[in-house]
Amino acid sequence: MIPGLFWISSSTINVRAVGLTSYAIVPTIPEENRPEQTVACPDGRGILQEPPIAGSEIDTLLGALERNRRTFAWKCGGLDADGLAAEHPPSKVTLGGLLKHLALVEDEYFTGRLHDRELPAPWNAVDWDATPDWEWQSAADDSPEELMTLWQDAVERSRKAVEEALATGGIDQLAKRSRNGRSASLRYILVDMIEEYARHSGHADLIRESIDGLVGEGVPG
């Protein structure tokens, strides 16, 4: 368990001051900033862009999560190293730090907790007891390409992890890794991840507007 990453992220993660259903994979995000195009829906339809108006529970949750991911990618896309390292005082949070933090949360939730697997690099080489804020502190050392790729790869692993879980069970299935003897359901993990993106997309809104004036609630069509 990585210090600071608990099930109820809204109250425990220290942030440091901080239509219609569509299955086409054509988000309006610069090509280099788009997550890889892979199947994420349980019946093989592709990656949902938003939750359906009156769909199943799993489509609603996955659609909401993907919409938040796309919006977050848009807020972080197209910036150089200075842009990703820019702060919005008094907060010390940066878009680069958010990219690296959410890459960690993706892997922790879906690889670590849901499937009880060891986290991949770079997380498995970090001394989290000595540097519990490593992802935030080290983001400034990474290039924009490295940060975006790290996040994209984590998102791709998460999609595959959810697809794998849904192939053998439903949304009520429990995570294989527990905390204090309690395991969260896949439903809970998805809801918590949606909330995590919603919070940090709000942070990204303010930071990005302060950099170049980009504003908007969702990815332009």
221 belongs to a structural domain: no
219 belongs to a structural domain: no
**Mean pLDDT value of segment 190-196:** 98
Asked, as a colleague might, if the bond just before 27 is cis with ω within 30 of 0, I would say no
11: three-class secondary structure by DSSP: helix
Predicted TM-score (pTM) of the model is 0.81
**Domain at 200, CATH number:** 1.20.120.450
166 belongs to a structural domain: yes
Torsion of CA 178, 182, 186, 188, to 10 degrees: -130
**Mean pLDDT value of segment 106-114:** 98
135 belongs to a structural domain: yes
Q: In total, how many domains does the chain have?
A: 1
Give the model confidence (pLDDT) of 136-175 as tens digits.
Answer: 999 999 999 999 999 999 999 999 999 999 999 999 999 9
Question: Would you tell me how many other CB atoms lie within 10 Å of the CB of residue 186?
Answer: 22
Asked, as a colleague might, if the bond just before 51 is cis with ω within 30 of 0, I would say no
pLDDT band for position 1 (cuts 50, 70, 90): low
Give the model confidence (pLDDT) of 3-60 as tens digits.
Answer: 555 443 333 223 222 222 232 222 333 444 433 333 344 444 578 989 999 999 999 9
Asked, as a colleague might, if the bond just before 35 is cis with ω within 30 of 0, I would say no
DSSP 84: H
Domain interval for residue 172? 9-212
pLDDT of 27: 32
pLDDT of 24: 29
Give the model confidence (pLDDT) of 52-75 as tens digits.
Answer: 999 999 999 999 999 999 999 999
| 3-class SS shares of the chain: helix, strand, coil, % to 5 | 50, 0, 50
